[in-house]
Amino acid sequence: MTNPTDNLISQNDLDPFSPEQQTARLRGVLTDVKKIASGGMAHIFQARQPALDRYIVVKKLKDELFTNPETLERFRREAKALASVLHQNIAHVYDFVESGKDSFLLMEYIEGVDLSTVIQKVGNIPFDVAASILLNVCRGVSYIHAYHLIHRDIKPANIRLTARGEVKLMDFGIVMDIANTSLTRPGMMVGSPSYLSPEQVLGDPITPSADIFLLGITFYEMMTGTRPFKEAERETVFQRIRETRYIPARQMNSTIPKKLNRIIEKCLEKAPSERYTNVKELMGELEQYLGVQKSNHTSDLILKYLDQEALVTPKIQYSEVKETQSFLKKMNWILIGVGAVFLLLGFLIGYWARPKMVSGPSTYPSAKPINPKNVKGSSR
């Protein structure tokens, strides 16, 4: 009887001292292996770890790419990049196994739905939910930027929404370490068409600002249901990203709040210097729009929406999040009204309590001169 992992691992006669021996530890450790996807660099499998009673994802580098040193190094770099960061908005890596003929990346299995599937099904996403999703992605991106990493491939297909209302950024296959740019030569373009910054298209030096542009593309797509840069009759998608002004988001969806539209426009500035200085600045704008309560309970907003749209089956209960902004506005007006009432009462009380001024002739008897004869002890 063959082991379920045999379709994952090349069949080799394992010598105890050979590199292939490293893959032996996958045999008998994983069960219920099934292929779930295939990307540009790797085949994606879902497998179960009985010892830990959990499912994981196994990325296996494609056989035809294993002999390409540059591709192999990218795969290794993805593993190292993910292993160096631990954040609630980033998919976790568990292990990296490499042999003379295979490379495997063992990662967290994220039960849920990717953002691109949500957009395809519902079109534009409610504004508060879209802002909540982007805020969580920004938290993850800001974290990797602190480690001098640039994702370079932020797009809805690489964002996973979980059955707990969490948001996970995935696929670090073309992540760039600012301290080591040897795999990104000048003039070299990597990324997904329609999800590239102008500097990526031009092959210019890449900075964290490139990720801000990609966050803007993703936000635009969530708010309008379509991408801002697509092939046109006379222009390629690369020309449009590099030179052409996209159709404004509010022209695509006139109900988009002006504040969120300004966020999109600032992210999608062609010049990196015109965008947000850093992702934290963008996060501040989103938090200001959502308010404190919603910013602190994004998972409730997201999970409620996914449940209502029957996109996931919630693993936890979610609570209602009140409209913080409208509530605060109402409270402000109430306080202003109460203050005005107290001022008016104070004025009226002061008016009625003031001393009365008597006008006209005095009602008191007139004073008479004193007769010295009537005063005892007076001298004559």
Separation between Cα atoms, residue 38 and residue 17, nearest integer Å = 32
For residue 232, with 0-12 CB atoms within 10 Å meaning exposed, 13-18 middle and 19 or more buried, which class applies? exposed
Nearest to 165 by CA among 287, 300, 296: 300
- Among 304, 321, 262, smallest CA distance to 286 is for 262
Token couple for 7? 């379709």
Beta-carbon count within 10 A of 197 CB:
27
Residue 29 makes CB contacts below 8 A (sequence gap 6+) with 5, 49, 51
d(CA 10, CA 211): 37
Burial of 177 (0-12, 13-18, 19+ CB in 10 A): middle
Cα 326 to Cα 264: distance, rounded to the nearest angstrom? 23
How far apart CA 218 and CA 115 sit, in angstroms, is 9
Q: Say if CB 290 and CB 131 are below 8 A apart.
A: yes
* Residue 153 annotated as catalytic: yes
Q: Which one of 102, 128, 153, 300 is the catalytic residue? A: 153
Q: Which residue has the tokens 């504004």?
A: 127
**Which residues are 150's β-sheet partners?**
176
Q: Which residues are catalytic?
A: 153
